[in-house]
Amino acid sequence: MKIVSRVEGPLLHVEVSGEEVLDGRGARLLQEEVLERLERGTLLVLSLRALRDVDSAGIGALISILKAVRGHGGRMALVEVPARIQSVLQITRLSCIFEIYPDEKAALAALAAVPV
């Protein structure tokens, strides 16, 4: 799994690629990457466009990351979420707790509109 991240002020943009499924190993790597870069008030934009699916470990990682971001007074947005993963989030009713946007531009507009 390849995880590319960049920091621009309070914005942490992370993109996952290199694998089709966010599973145990990838979930751990993603959590480690985000937690290493997490600061007070971080606005995390997490792009999932290169993924096809997510398993329970991947869902667990997304929830853990969300809790950590909120614990640091920040916000998290999922962007470019494939239909299969959106379906999993809807079935598990997790789509209600995640902020999901079609792209980074929409996420940034929404995150900027509501202060942390």
- Per-residue pLDDT band at 18 (split at 50, 70, 90): confident
Q: If we measure between CA atoms, which residue out of 40, 60, 48, 45 comes closest to residue 21?
A: 48
- Tally of CB atoms within 10 A around 84: 13
pTM: 0.92
The rounded mean pLDDT for the chain is 94
How does pLDDT run across 90-100, given as a tens digit for each residue?
Answer: 999 999 999 99
Give the whole-angstrom CA distance, residue 71 versus residue 25: 24
Position 115 scores a pLDDT of 63
* Residue-range domains of the chain with CATH: 2-113 (3.30.750.24)
Give the whole-angstrom CA distance, residue 29 versus residue 116: 26
pLDDT of 78 > 90? The answer is: yes
